[in-house]
Structure 1
Amino acid sequence: MRDRVLAGILVVPFVMGAAAAPSHPGRVELTFRDPAIVESSGLVLQDGLFLTTNDSGDSGRVFAVDPATGRTVGVTTWSEDPTDVEALAPAGRGAVWVGDIGDNTASRDGVQVTRVPVGRGDRTADATTYELTYPEGAVNAETLLADPSTGRLYVATKNVFGGSLYEAPARLDPEGPNRLREVGPVLPIATDGAFFPDGRHVILRDYSRAVVYTFPALEEVGSFRLPDQDQGEGLAVAADHTVYVSSEGQDQPVLRVPLPADVRRAVAPASASPTAAPTASPSSGTFSREGRELPEQEYTDRPAWPWFLTAWVVLGGLVVLVRSLRRR
């Protein structure tokens, strides 16, 4: 119980810090119209469709959404009772990896990933599930990534004191467990992430910002604020390096976020012009929103007082916690 209280206190600065900082502008790409999509946690752009899944509490379902309409055009049901689904990652044409990797109480002996077929039309999948284990014991995570060059899976942990990126074995054993290996440190409170198409960079997000790293060195090349969202837990990268983000909640939009110029130059393929702006649609397909763009969101200027209030809340909470521990 004490651990949960401490974790709750320490999360406050991130939440209120996000409230104090101005956000990056974004454009509405589509709005999820399916009333069953209420806790979008994880986002993949593949085969001309946006793919998402609900957070824990739902059955195991992946929704395929048409970017042109925001309407669900296919649902894959793969489990009736997953533990805590938090993430998706590309798994090749017509499939995604589903990450049942959430563990808020850090009590699971292992977490699971499942390769699930997706696309237009409804289906029930009898898919193989693989167990992953951490070398140091249970850890909470909400981010699953797949290397576009090798298909290898990576998990970024959601740790208040700083997250870590873990690498799964090159070949997963269905009999398991598959032991993860720590690659290096990443931002705290990671809620989703993705590789860029050439595999040379990864991008991770929390509730208010995104950070881009080289891969596999994990050297930070830039960070930027994300648009305001109720609870941003989805991120996808298109073939043209365009970034899309989604949020929990019903009828939530998927926002297109332009990369800052310095980040765009850093992640540009060696053969491409570093100053070229993204021009392609949100997939390798033919979908285009030309002539149908919605107004760009405005910056939101916010006061600095939440930071000061945050400091007092954290200090007071820690004092109370330390005193209670001393009495035991």
Structure 2
Amino acid sequence: MRVPERLRGPLVALALALPFVVGYAAHAATGDGADVVLTFADPEVLESSGLVVTDGLVVTTNDSGDTGRVFAVGPEGRTVGVTTWSDSPVDVEALAPAGPGQVWVGDIGDNAAARDSVSVARVPVGRGPIDAGAEAAGATYELVYPGGARDAETLVAHPRTGRLYVASKSFFGGTLYEAPARLDPDRPNELREVGGVLPIATDGAFFPDGRHLVVRDYGRAEVYAWPSLRSVGELDLPDQQQGEGIAVTGDGRVLVSTEGQFSDVLEVPLPADLQEALAPAPSEPTGTATAPAAPDTEVAPPAPADEGLRTVPLSWLLGALTAILLAGWLLVRAVRRAGDGGRTRR
């Protein structure tokens, strides 16, 4: 059957995309045993992207397309406070803790990798309406990547130092970037590459001890020792519409959220081997919140940027190879048919 000319482009695009979709579906974990912590009752929470637990509240923000709003949600799921910090952000994608009563908002989305810079803003959160327009304007910082623009949806803050980190989102392995220890509001703050994390990172969070970091994608999460970024285990996540939020509570519980109206915030149980890996070292005292973070004991440098290639799921790589082969086959057929048509006309 001859395919009409007008359908060839869409069919080729579908053929190229299908292997990635199939590969991701094969990779995504179902994740059993997650408990519902709360359900967002506010119809204005449409695309929950980013999650923070602070002062007994769950804090989230809408993905790109909304005005600059942050929602503080009580244990029963009702919105108890809304902070308005900007009228026209570019692409808000993430939140990170910024101390009692505050969060960092990451205006860091860049699907086309076209932004000259991205920004983060420290905004107050709590019960009741908060207009942080002027305050947020004075606490907004410009960030630039080394080597050009990157897309990102993950912003994390170290619980002991407060230092910010951004994880890029890429099919072929994400990269974690470190912000300067002291941000300058008057000039761009250059990020520094730290190491590789999983591909398609949609959110992350440090554990309270500062010794471990968890980064999620749409179907799984990976826990890394800090600062070596050595992987210490994976966490299967529940099926979600579009999971773009993860937070760790003060007592080490892992919560996840997803886009979608009236969506659930779930607690994901940690498997026994991961609990063991996260346990404090025998010599490390417990309950010392003011102690500096103990560095990871493994003597190893941070992974280079291309280390992320090793974390790409095999199914995705097979999908990419299939897409390339299929595209080549379609191109050869098209060329042959064009040649046959030319000979026929002569």
- After TM superposition, the score normalised by the length of structure 1 is 0.82
Corresponding residue for residue 120 of structure 2: 113
Rounded Cα–Cα distance in structure 2 between residues aligned with 1:318 and 1:72: 47
> After superposition, what is the alpha-carbon deviation per residue over 1:196-222, rounded to whole angstroms, capped at 9, x for unaligned?
001000000011111000011000000
Aligned runs of 1:32-181 on 2, under 5 Å?
A: 32-67=40-75, 69-125=76-132, 126=134, 127=136, 128-181=139-192
C-alpha displacement at 1:24, in angstroms?
Answer: 3.5
Corresponding residue for residue 26 of structure 2: 17
Residues 46 and 325 (structure 1 numbering): CA distance in 2 closer, same or farther, change over 3 Å? farther
Residues 268 and 26 (structure 1 numbering): CA distance in 2 closer, same or farther, change over 3 Å? same
Identify which of structures 1 and 2 has the higher relative contact order when contacts are C-alpha pairs closer than 8 Å and 6+ apart: 1
Residues 11 and 192 (structure 1 numbering): CA distance in 2 closer, same or farther, change over 3 Å? farther
C-alpha displacement at 1:157, in angstroms?
Answer: 0.8
C-alpha displacement at 1:176, in angstroms?
Answer: 2.0
Report how many residues are paired.
293
C-alpha displacement at 1:269, in angstroms?
Answer: 2.5
Rounded Cα–Cα distance in structure 1 between residues aligned with 2:53 and 2:198: 23
> After superposition, what is the alpha-carbon deviation per residue over 1:122-154, rounded to whole angstroms, capped at 9, x for unaligned?
011021211111101111110000001100000
C-alpha displacement at 1:264, in angstroms?
Answer: 1.1
Q: Answer with 1 or 2: which has the greater Rg.
A: 2
Unaligned runs of 5+ in 2: 1-12, 285-313, 335-346
Residues 242 and 160 (structure 1 numbering): CA distance in 2 closer, same or farther, change over 3 Å? same
Q: Which amino acid is the alignment partner of residue 165 of structure 1?
A: L
C-alpha displacement at 1:322, in angstroms?
Answer: 5.3
Rounded Cα–Cα distance in structure 1 between residues aligned with 2:97 and 2:158: 9
Residues 72 and 272 (structure 1 numbering): CA distance in 2 closer, same or farther, change over 3 Å? farther
Rounded Cα–Cα distance in structure 2 between residues aligned with 1:66 and 1:148: 23
Residues 142 and 325 (structure 1 numbering): CA distance in 2 closer, same or farther, change over 3 Å? farther
Unaligned runs of 5+ in 1: 274-306
Q: Tell me if structure 2 keeps the 8 A contact 1:87–1:192.
A: yes
Q: Tell me if structure 2 keeps the 8 A contact 1:12–1:314.
A: no
1:256 maps onto 2:267 in alignment = yes
Rounded Cα–Cα distance in structure 2 between residues aligned with 1:121 and 1:129: 22
Percentage of identical aligned residues: 61
Rounded Cα–Cα distance in structure 1 between residues aligned with 2:213 and 2:141: 23
Q: Which amino acid is the alignment partner of residue 206 of structure 1?
A: D
Corresponding residue for residue 194 of structure 2: 183
Q: Tell me if structure 2 keeps the 8 A contact 1:15–1:207.
A: no
Q: Secondary structure at the match of 1:122?
A: strand
Corresponding residue for residue 228 of structure 1: 239
- After TM superposition, the score normalised by the length of structure 2 is 0.78
Q: Which amino acid is the alignment partner of residue 108 of structure 2?
A: I
Q: Secondary structure at the match of 1:259?
A: coil
Q: Which amino acid is the alignment partner of residue 140 of structure 2?
A: T
1:247 maps onto 2:266 in alignment = no
TM-align CA RMSD? 3.0
Q: Which amino acid is the alignment partner of residue 225 of structure 1?
A: D
Q: Which amino acid is the alignment partner of residue 117 of structure 1?
A: P
